Amino acid sequence: MNGLSILRIILTKRKQQENPLILIVDDVPENIDVLAGVLKNNYQIRVARNGRTGIKLARMQPVPDLILLDIMMPEIDGYEVCETLKADLETKHIPIIFVSAKIAVEDEIRGLELGAVDYITKPVSPPLVTQRVKVHLALSQQNRELDRKVNEQTKVIKQTRSQIIQRLGRAAEYKDNETGMHVIRMSRYSQLLAAAAGHCEEFCELLLNAAPMHDVGKIGIPDHILKKPAALDADEWLIMKEHTQIGAEILGDGSSSSLMKMARSVALTHHEKWDGSGYPNGLVGEGIPIEGRIVAIADVFDALTSERPYKKAWKVDDAVQEIEKSAGSHFDPKLVAVFVALVPQLLEVRDSFKD
């Protein structure tokens, strides 16, 4: 074999690999041969002789770009195959065209209701098959591109939202002799603690973005109280405690946004205590929202281990012991156990976001 022949083979294989992949599912070999014969010059072909194999091959990487699916097959018919694939996150996006001798209107409607994009009747017309496949592959590609652009834009929106939220949280910290790194650290501590406690990714992401607003209500506390270098008297302490309710008012009630709902809950409840001695409402135990219980630990840990104009930073071991000692009184004891196991990861965050 000369060099030119080898080059042609390489180019042919490369072209085949770049072509869309079509899965043909039919229990009749002659039907497969007809469809494969029509499409093989322009597409990669994968075939299955029954529904079970069709489902297996549809899930095999790389997943098909389109599926031509017979309806009347033994054991598992095409309707069940379609329903199974559309219920699977890995395969639900694959366009399915039913190819069947069942020509009743109700059969076509049923197929479309299950998620198929088209319906071709047997015996098939090769030009019709070619055109339908071409059209639905193009539509699928357009939909994927649209999804990609939407996901990119959604990511930008989330990043922008997160930055705005962090800056809102920092506004309160500047007023309170805190640093901007405090809200970043404690929000990441909160996210890690929520994940380690078994909460879903969506909850953890919401908490990461909501936690920076925990003290936003301090914007409404007079400076002579907020920045007082000495201990607050009883009247001043009553005013200081109002920052939780001020924060809740700033963040609003009745919002449809999951983020704003969680942020309001955090602002209102992060000073509640497990034994009911906290404020503003004296909530007890699991009556305190889980996000408030998590942020309470994260906020105190960062406050203890950070240096401030009015105090030196505690040693990490001392801060951990203090939180352990407060399990069951100030803090949720189950969360404290999770927190203690998580300390090495929390210290990595602290080192990454130093004041």
| DSSP string over 273-307 | -TTS--SSS---GGGS-HHHHHHHHHHHHHHHHS-
The residue ranking higher by pLDDT, 142 or 287, is: 287
Quick one: which of 189, 255, 250, 191 has its CA closest to 219? 250
Span 167-194, average pLDDT: 76
Please give the helix or strand (H or E) that residue 66 lies within, else none.
strand 66-69
Give me 184's structure tokens.
């970043």
Write down all domains in the chain, each with its CATH number in brackets: 3-139 (3.40.50.2300), 159-352 (1.10.3210.10)
Sequence-ordered alpha helix ranges (H) in 87-200: 105-113, 126-175, 180-196
> How many residues are present in the chain?
355
The pLDDT assigned to 3 comes to: 53
The pLDDT assigned to 162 comes to: 63
Task: Kindly report, residue by residue over 44-64, the tens digit of the pLDDT.
Answer: 999 999 999 999 999 999 999
Least confident of 35-49, 254-268, 280-294, 328-342: 254-268
User: Which of 114-118, 221-225, 306-310 has the largest mean confidence?
Assistant: 114-118
The residue ranking higher by pLDDT, 34 or 10, is: 34
The residue ranking higher by pLDDT, 10 or 98, is: 98
What is the distance between the alpha carbons of residues 30 and 149, in angstroms, rounded to a whole number?
Answer: 42
Q: Is the pLDDT of residue 238 over 50?
A: yes
The pLDDT assigned to 26 comes to: 96
Span 123-141, average pLDDT: 93
92 Cβ contact list (under 8 Å, min separation 6)? 85, 86, 115
The residue ranking higher by pLDDT, 254 or 330, is: 330
Span 283-308, average pLDDT: 95
Q: How many other C-beta atoms can be found within 10 angstroms of the C-beta atom of residue 244?
A: 25
Q: Is the pLDDT of residue 175 over 70?
A: no
Calculate what percentage of the chain has a pLDDT beyond 70.
88
Q: Is the pLDDT of residue 219 over 90?
A: no
Q: Is the pLDDT of residue 179 over 70?
A: no
What is the average pLDDT value for the chain, to the nearest integer? 88
Q: For residue 129, name the pLDDT band (cuts at 50, 70, 90).
A: very high
The residue ranking higher by pLDDT, 8 or 150, is: 150
What is the distance between the alpha carbons of residues 321 and 346, in angstroms, rounded to a whole number?
Answer: 15
155 Cβ contact list (under 8 Å, min separation 6)? none
Task: Kindly report, residue by residue over 69-118, the tens digit of the pLDDT.
Answer: 999 999 899 999 999 999 998 899 999 999 988 778 888 889 889 999 99
